[in-house]
Amino acid sequence: MKKVGFFQSVRLKLIVVYILLLLLGIQVIGAYFVKGLEGKLKDNFTSSIEGRIDTLTYSLQQSFSADRTEDDPTLETDVTTLIDRFKYNPSSEITKLQVVNDNKRIIASFGYEGNNIGQKTTELKVTNALLMFGSTDPEIMVDADEGERVWVGVRPIIENSEAVGAVYYQADMSSVYDQLQDINKIFAKGTLLAITITALLGILVARTITRPLSEMRKQAQIMSTGDFSQKVTVHGNDEISQLGLTFNDLNDKLKLSQATTEGERRKLSSVLSNMSDGVIATDRLGAITLMNAPASTLIGQSFEDVQGQSLIDILDLNEQLSDVSEIENTDSIITDLSTEDQHLLLKANFSVVINEKDERDGFITVLSDVTEQEKVEQERREFVSNVSHELRTPLTSMRSYIEALNDGAWQDPEIAPRFLDVTQNETERMIRLVNDLLQLTKMDHQETHLMKETVEFIGFLNQVIERFEMNKYENIEFERDFPDKEMLVWIDEDKLMQVLDNVISNAIKYSPEGGTIRFKAISTRKQLRVSISDEGLGMPANTVDKIFDRFYRVDKARTRELGGTGLGLAIAREIIDAHHGKIWAESKEGKGTTVLFTLPLMSQKRRGKL
């Protein structure tokens, strides 16, 4: 997990918010205070100035209204005397003043450069005051010479309801704004001090708040690794402490949940690993997300090779399914994954995984190897078909001859015996077929009990061969290649005689006139191997392994002509298997066929007991 820097931490955010709130409070209070103080200072200033101007105006009215003689001082002299006394007041903030008569001529002034006595004033306020017979509202202006803010006003001098003159004045307001500036500096210093103290307190408060959060963050990082052994230390009983208690409770529940989940995962893993069937899990789009070992074995690819690939492509279901959504409506499909070296049929059973929103979240596919089942099913169908065919042929033949006899052929002394002879042959053929089928059925159900005994096999085999030599036809020769030593086997003599009868009879049937049948027996350390070879037409290589299947014939027409049922070699294989041996054939077209089988030899230890 990425480490949180100080400038991105909650602690800094709390400190900043704390300081901003304090600043906001100080600024609101400071602005309100300074605004009120400014108004108060201005009011005091203007009240003081207006009071002095009122006093001066009253004195000037006396001077303008006085009756003068030749010995009395002139109006200009009186006004100048009043102005001189006024301007030398040390507490006065009035910096400029003019006294004008009704002709707008200046009769006395101070604060101006040069001598402007006797000049007409250019101040518009004075003109308005003389014409309107009243004072104009004072206002704050900026002095063009000094650049300072001044209080400017005009006061008319009234006599008998007429303006006989006016007083124009300017008062310096710098003292008011200097006081405001000093107060603002005091507020700024106080604000800086308050911010410093607040920042220190904020660090302590933020640390108190964020320390439990940091502990919970560290604990969450530890929990993410799967370690639920540690807990958060809880101090107090506030909301953060309650959060810590809840976090510890969550830790316990996650620990229990993980243990439960891990147990279920192990069970599922064990089940998937030990299943003989393959299991493949996909997402909702059909991409493979999980596969167990049996599934990997069945499809011949590892999980790493097929992860993320489409299930339809991997199982070659493109012909059966055009889209993954069709799996929802499909219970199972048999797919052929056969190769040149191996025949493989897989049955895929599908189930849909539904999430909590009742939507499709994926698929579970269970694969089963049904190659043998399909083979058995195919053999069963072929067996039923072959039995039906084998029985139908003689029955059809018998019905035809019996119908002919019923139609009057029985009265013909030449035809009737021949028809009856054919009917008897077909009947015997069906009896042989039924007996062979019954014997195979007993063997399939393990109802045949072998009567085993110790037999010296070479002598036993010579007896069987001699019996065939007495009845052989077409000048067929027998050649024997047997060792001179004794070979003891533990066998059912009657059953092995049946095997030899079937194999030798087939060799005689398919041997040409004047051909030779060769018998050979050899022994290994634990086995006896017997081979019987003929010089017949042989058979194609792809049919050699099939001659031991039930009802299988390489040349069906010739086999029926010679009276075979197609079950002899199948019975022979069942008997050899029951004796823990093996039987097989080797053949080439035009070069004859060799049938071989093995039997276990009796051990020296067992011979001693017998």
Judge whether 554 lies within some domain: yes
* CB-CB contact of 415 with 423 (8 Å): no
What SS3 class is residue 318?
Answer: coil
Spatial separation of the C-alpha atoms in residues 603 and 490, rounded to whole Å: 10
First to last CA, the chain: 81
Instruction: Find, among 332, 307, 300, the residue nearest to 317 by Cα.
Output: 332
309 and 414 assigned to the same domain: no
Instruction: Find, among 532, 572, 533, 531, the residue nearest to 550 by Cα.
Output: 572
Judge whether 265 lies within some domain: no
496 and 432 assigned to the same domain: no
Q: Residue 553 maps to which CATH number?
A: 3.30.565.10
384 and 355 assigned to the same domain: no
Judge whether 21 lies within some domain: yes
- Phi first, then psi: what are they for 146, rounded to 5°? -90, -25
402 dihedral zone (left: phi>0; alpha: psi -120 to 50; beta): alpha
**Could you give the dihedral angle defined by the CA atoms of residues 560, 565, 569 and 572, in that order, rounded to the nearest 10 degrees?**
-150
Spatial separation of the C-alpha atoms in residues 375 and 549, rounded to whole Å: 12
* CB-CB contact of 427 with 398 (8 Å): yes
Query: How distant, in Å, are the alpha carbons of 135, 148, 566 from that of 138?
Result: 9, 16, 139
| Beta-carbon-side half-sphere exposure of residue 203 (alpha carbons within 13 Å) | 6
What the block records as the tokens of 537 is: 């037409």
Spatial separation of the C-alpha atoms in residues 231 and 107, rounded to whole Å: 95
Q: Residue 64 maps to which CATH number?
A: 3.30.450.20
Instruction: Find, among 331, 324, 326, the residue nearest to 285 by Cα.
Output: 324
Domain boundary among 336, 369, 402: 369
What the block records as the tokens of 403 is: 């119908």
Instruction: Find, among 493, 494, 499, 506, the residue nearest to 457 by Cα.
Output: 493
Ranges under pLDDT 50 in the chain: 1, 557-563, 608-610
Residue burial 99-113, b: 16+ Cβ < 10 Å; e: rest: bbbeebbbbbbbeee
Tell me how far the alpha carbon of residue 332 is from its chain's centroid: 26
Q: Give the count of domains, the chain.
A: 4
Q: Residue 386 maps to which CATH number?
A: 1.10.287.130
* CB-CB contact of 314 with 301 (8 Å): yes
481 and 502 assigned to the same domain: yes
What's the confidence (pLDDT) of residue 557? Answer: 46
- Phi first, then psi: what are they for 527, rounded to 5°? -130, 155
490 and 590 assigned to the same domain: yes
Domain boundary among 179, 199, 223: 179
Spatial separation of the C-alpha atoms in residues 224 and 226, rounded to whole Å: 5
Spatial separation of the C-alpha atoms in residues 376 and 399, rounded to whole Å: 34
18 and 164 assigned to the same domain: yes
The number of residues making up the chain comes to: 610
Judge whether 2 lies within some domain: no
CB atoms within 10 A of CB 390: 20
DSSP-derived letter for residue 310 is B
Query: How distant, in Å, are the alpha carbons of 256, 304, 529, 536 from that of 519?
Result: 76, 56, 11, 15
What's the confidence (pLDDT) of residue 94? Answer: 83
CB atoms within 10 A of CB 389: 12
54 and 167 assigned to the same domain: yes
Judge whether 350 lies within some domain: yes
Q: Residue 568 belongs to what domain range?
A: 452-609
What's the confidence (pLDDT) of residue 607? Answer: 52
Judge whether 457 lies within some domain: yes
Spatial separation of the C-alpha atoms in residues 108 and 106, rounded to whole Å: 6
Q: Are strands 162-172 and 149-159 parallel, antiparallel or unpaired?
A: antiparallel
What's the confidence (pLDDT) of residue 597? Answer: 93
62 and 173 assigned to the same domain: yes
Domain boundary among 323, 343, 369: 369
Backbone Cα Rg of the chain: 64
349 and 408 assigned to the same domain: no
Judge whether 190 lies within some domain: no
Instruction: Find, among 27, 69, 306, the residue nearest to 187 by Cα.
Output: 27
Spatial separation of the C-alpha atoms in residues 295 and 406, rounded to whole Å: 66
Spatial separation of the C-alpha atoms in residues 510 and 593, rounded to whole Å: 9
Judge whether 158 lies within some domain: yes
Angle between helices 493-510 and 568-578 (to 10 degrees): 150
- Phi first, then psi: what are they for 233, rounded to 5°? -75, 130
Angle between helices 371-406 and 415-444 (to 10 degrees): 160
How confident is the model over 203-225, as pLDDT tens digits? 777 777 777 777 777 777 777 77
59 and 111 assigned to the same domain: yes
531 and 390 assigned to the same domain: no
What SS3 class is residue 269?
Answer: helix
Instruction: Find, among 584, 503, 585, 589, the residue nearest to 539 by Cα.
Output: 589
Query: How distant, in Å, are the alpha carbons of 44, 126, 149, 188, 359 from that of 176?
Result: 10, 26, 10, 19, 79
92 and 41 assigned to the same domain: yes
Tell me how far the alpha carbon of residue 72 is from its chain's centroid: 116
